[in-house]
Structure 1
Amino acid sequence: MTDSRQPAAGAERNGPLSDLRVLELGNIVAGPFAASVLADLGAEVVKIERPDGGDSIRSSGDTGDAIFDAINRNKRSIALDLKDDDDIDALYDLVDAADVFVENLGRGTPERLGIGAETLRERNPELIYLSIKGFQEGPYGDYAGMDVVAEAMSGLMSVTGEPGRQPVRVGTSIADMGAAIYGVLGVMVALRERDRTGEGQRVDGTLFESAAHWMGYWLTYADRFGDDPEPLGASHPSWGLYDVFETDAGWLFVGVTNDRHWEAFCDAADLRGLRDDERFATAADRRANKQALLETVQERLRGGDRAALFDALADAGVPAAPVNDPSDLADDPGLDAAGSLARFHATHDGESVPEQTVMAPVSGERFGPEQYRDPPDIGEHTEEILRDWLLSDEEQETLAAEGGDD
């Protein structure tokens, strides 16, 4: 079948998943983020949206616009009213032609709409059905799930922020994205199993369990020592010099995790006298005298040339980084060299606006993420999706010959 899409910036959808058809019934972040990973790797992703408003993130202000554009490029949009008999029949027909179905609706909602995993897999036994929820089924199964709920219940919020201050969420939708990424991993495992058995299955991606997995080593620590870590700020209790420091142009992170780093840091930062300070002679000494070390280094680095310090530390092999703002990632040379930046256009208030984001960092010797389609308007591709997915090649050729594509 010929792909009728108009790729963005002259690119084509030819990634390693280009033979995969994905239906996404997602809202806000988790479901759309999962589908965006598959789309970046070439999967044909069709986003199902309500005719009256579409994905609810579309109506969430400037940040909502940015979220939608970043994680819904490389997709086509079809507008379907799932309470309308004809539209639900059209969805069923699309499911018959799909490999993967992604949803992050509230628990029980897919079943009420007649699109639960059991119903759709009865129609298409080979279907992989990714269901993203706040929690696995069980005692928490009916709790309302959202990113900050998972961050709170998993313990992630308890170690984020500064000691003595209120807990804070991570500055991006990290639990949503974690559930999405684990969900995509589950999809790939299920596809691998389908290659052997010919059968699809439901795959779960959950926010709470994903965030809890990341907190695993802190659970082990608390279980062993009977003590919980305090909020970490930018530091870590395993090392003495591991924090951010104020300079002339903002903050600079420095991470000294071994004696080689320590020697190199003292030389690169022109702090050679610290090597002779008995309080900081060994890693254990630096941990035991952490506060004094941080205060001493901060006093020396305050007002220093951040760019020069970073260059010196990087050349010396010391882990260091300027604390960038999101705008610093635009046209970032490292991301650009890695082929990770997606450049596209989005339409807002009737105007085409150039934008950038970062694609899924999944690559190998012969594949990587690609940008090939701008974010869609609500239902922009409804007719062509129904044609491409539901008509045979012969029927499409007949339609084209009759002028049906005009």
Structure 2
Amino acid sequence: MDTQDNAALRGVRIADFSRVLAGPYATMLLADLGADVIKVERPGGGDETRAWHPPADEDGTSTYFLSVNRNKRSVVLDLATGAGRERARALVAECDVLVENFRPGTMGRLGLGPDELLARHPGLVYCSISGFGTGAGAAIPGYDLLVQAVGGLMSVTGEADGEPTKAGVALVDVITGLHACLGILAALRHRDATGEGQRVEVNLLGSLLSAMVNQASAFAVAGTVPGRLGNAHPSIAPYETFPTADRPIALAVGNDRQFAALATTLGAPGLATDPRFRTNADRVAHRAALRDLLGGLLGGAGADHWAAVLLAAGVPAGPVNTLDEAFAHAGGLGLPGIVDVPGETAHGRPSRQVAHPIALSRTPARYRLPPPSLGRHTAEVLSDPHPWSTR
């Protein structure tokens, strides 16, 4: 068995009671860095995302589930029974971290709440993920689409004269998972220094409001309620997509020097000295006129041509890629995109996974296990919860 001698989180064991996305994404990232994550699932179906298909792999497993559950061991426990809850408590006793995203109060009713478990295990880091916190919003279901709507993200996403639009991925869940990771690591640092565990709480709405950054600050500081600008930016121009002879291109011009280089490369150097466009503030004020002029100039060639010549001139630019093109682009830049995770799968081949995004020079992410079949490790874990432990 791999002992993970050079893993950053070597020896950290996590009882993962979470499912769907925010929690599983957080625990997968921690597992990639060496934590031994034991995924606790309900009998019969396990994590709901196992059934969220199409698409699916050759075994019929949802690609949604596969996206956030590698490097984990799956244990089936029926928390509706006394025996199941007792086994869960025994498992937690062998762990450093517990992660859960049940509706607030559920774990307490199961005898697995933070007060009870922290009293038994003072060094435990207990991470709870909710949709809207544990107060007045505790009963509101925490679905990503709902939070994008009520949290304001949809109000600033989409065309100005179109409908409010959600992001094309469950972005709030992903951001909340990252916040959960940060909180867990901070709590582990404190625990290692003092021996004291603590509760970590993150919620989808709070995570989204934090992630709205400049848009949220516009309201908090200036009282400005931002609206939809399509692909344009409220404070920078040109910073949006433009049509070309074949497909759209994104221009991310962040300063006057870049704008001058853009104008020269497009054969219209006078744009940089035009009083309407001389400074960024000028360009924002006259965004519509600038958009029309740039659109006309860019229509003379395709997006790949313009991306090449503009990047060579120091202008941030790139075509709007499809996902297959995005992975090819990453590969062309020498960046990891897709990795093959070894291990036993029903079809006998490695599991194709998206690479871990963090590069560590001494303790890199490692890919030890493919996403597990339901309950695959129940007997193994219940007989010995931590065969990877090196402590």
Please say whether Structure 1 and Structure 2 have the same fold, judged by a TM-score greater than 0.5.
yes
> 1:163-186, CA deviations, whole angstroms, 9 ceiling, x for partnerless residues?
121211111111111111111111
User: Which stretch of the first structure deviates more once superposed, 275-284 or 205-214?
Assistant: 275-284
User: Which stretch of the first structure deviates more once superposed, 261-270 or 40-49?
Assistant: 261-270
Q: Which residue of 2 aligns with 1:397?
A: none
1:239 and 2:231 are equivalent in the alignment: no
- Partner letter of residue 112 of structure 1? R
**Distance 1:253-1:70 versus aligned 2 partners, 3 A rule:** same
Report the Cα offset of residue 378 of structure 1. 0.1
1:358 and 2:354 are equivalent in the alignment: yes
Q: 1:322 aligns with which of 315, 319, 324?
A: 319
Query: How far apart, in 2, do the equivalents of 1:102 and 1:145 lie?
Result: 16
**Distance 1:392-1:16 versus aligned 2 partners, 3 A rule:** closer
Contact 1:250 1:323 (C-alpha < 8 Å) held by counterparts? yes
**Equivalences for 1:59-70 in 2 at 5 Å?**
59-63=51-55, 65-70=62-67
1:281 and 2:278 are equivalent in the alignment: yes
Q: Which residue of 1 aligns with 2:8?
A: 16
Q: Which residue of 2 aligns with 1:204?
A: 201
- Partner letter of residue 18 of structure 1? R
Q: Which residue of 2 aligns with 1:140?
A: 137
Q: 1:377 aligns with which of 373, 377, 380?
A: 373
Q: Which residue of 2 aligns with 1:183?
A: 180
Query: How far apart, in 1, do the equivalents of 2:309 and 2:388 lie?
Result: 62
Query: How far apart, in 1, do the equivalents of 2:329 and 2:6 lie?
Result: 25
SS of corresponding position for 2:167: coil
1:130 and 2:127 are equivalent in the alignment: yes
**Distance 1:73-1:389 versus aligned 2 partners, 3 A rule:** same
Q: 2:24 aligns with which of 16, 25, 32?
A: 32
**Distance 1:162-1:72 versus aligned 2 partners, 3 A rule:** same
Query: How far apart, in 1, do the equivalents of 2:6 and 2:36 lie?
Result: 10
> 1:92-121, CA deviations, whole angstroms, 9 ceiling, x for partnerless residues?
211111011111111221122221112222
**Distance 1:355-1:204 versus aligned 2 partners, 3 A rule:** same
- Partner letter of residue 46 of structure 1? I
- Partner letter of residue 74 of structure 1? N
1:160 and 2:152 are equivalent in the alignment: no
Unaligned segments of structure 1, at least 5 residues = 5-11, 394-406
Contact 2:263 2:269 (C-alpha < 8 Å) held by counterparts? yes
- Partner letter of residue 263 of structure 2? C
SS of corresponding position for 1:130: strand
- Partner letter of residue 62 of structure 1? P
SS of corresponding position for 2:172: helix
Query: How far apart, in 2, do the equivalents of 1:392 and 1:313 lie?
Result: 51
Q: Which residue of 2 aligns with 1:115?
A: 112
Report the Cα offset of residue 135 of structure 1. 1.8
**Distance 1:342-1:390 versus aligned 2 partners, 3 A rule:** closer
Query: How far apart, in 1, do the equivalents of 2:387 and 2:290 lie?
Result: 70
Report the Cα offset of residue 35 of structure 1. 0.5
Query: How far apart, in 2, do the equivalents of 1:329 and 1:354 lie?
Result: 22
- Partner letter of residue 32 of structure 2? D
Query: How far apart, in 1, do the equivalents of 2:87 and 2:337 lie?
Result: 36
For normalisation by structure 1, the TM-score amounts to: 0.86
**Count of residue pairs the alignment pairs up:** 384
Report the Cα offset of residue 392 of structure 1. 12
Identity across matched positions, percent: 36
Contact 1:269 1:312 (C-alpha < 8 Å) held by counterparts? no
Report the Cα offset of residue 18 of structure 1. 2.0
**Distance 1:217-1:331 versus aligned 2 partners, 3 A rule:** closer
- Partner letter of residue 59 of structure 1? A
Contact 1:191 1:200 (C-alpha < 8 Å) held by counterparts? yes
Unaligned segments of structure 2, at least 5 residues = 57-61
State the superposition RMSD in angstroms: 2.6
Query: How far apart, in 2, do the equivalents of 1:329 and 1:105 lie?
Result: 35
**Equivalences for 1:230-309 in 2 at 5 Å?**
230-275=227-272, 277-302=274-299, 304-309=301-306
Query: How far apart, in 2, do the equivalents of 1:87 and 1:292 lie?
Result: 66
- Partner letter of residue 250 of structure 1? R
Contact 1:133 1:206 (C-alpha < 8 Å) held by counterparts? yes
SS of corresponding position for 1:330: helix
Report the Cα offset of residue 302 of structure 1. 2.4
**Distance 1:391-1:375 versus aligned 2 partners, 3 A rule:** closer
SS of corresponding position for 2:276: helix
Query: How far apart, in 2, do the equivalents of 1:77 and 1:244 lie?
Result: 44
Q: Which residue of 1 aligns with 2:190?
A: 193
Query: How far apart, in 2, do the equivalents of 1:104 and 1:205 lie?
Result: 10
1:94 and 2:91 are equivalent in the alignment: yes
Report the Cα offset of residue 149 of structure 1. 2.1
SS of corresponding position for 1:47: strand
For normalisation by structure 2, the TM-score amounts to: 0.89
**Distance 1:283-1:94 versus aligned 2 partners, 3 A rule:** same
SS of corresponding position for 1:211: helix
Query: How far apart, in 1, do the equivalents of 2:233 and 2:356 lie?
Result: 28
1:368 and 2:364 are equivalent in the alignment: yes
Report the Cα offset of residue 331 of structure 1. 5.0
Contact 1:131 1:203 (C-alpha < 8 Å) held by counterparts? yes
- Partner letter of residue 24 of structure 2? P
Contact 1:345 1:352 (C-alpha < 8 Å) held by counterparts? no
Contact 2:42 2:76 (C-alpha < 8 Å) held by counterparts? yes
Report the Cα offset of residue 202 of structure 1. 1.1
SS of corresponding position for 1:389: coil
Report the Cα offset of residue 211 of structure 1. 0.3
**Distance 1:59-1:391 versus aligned 2 partners, 3 A rule:** closer
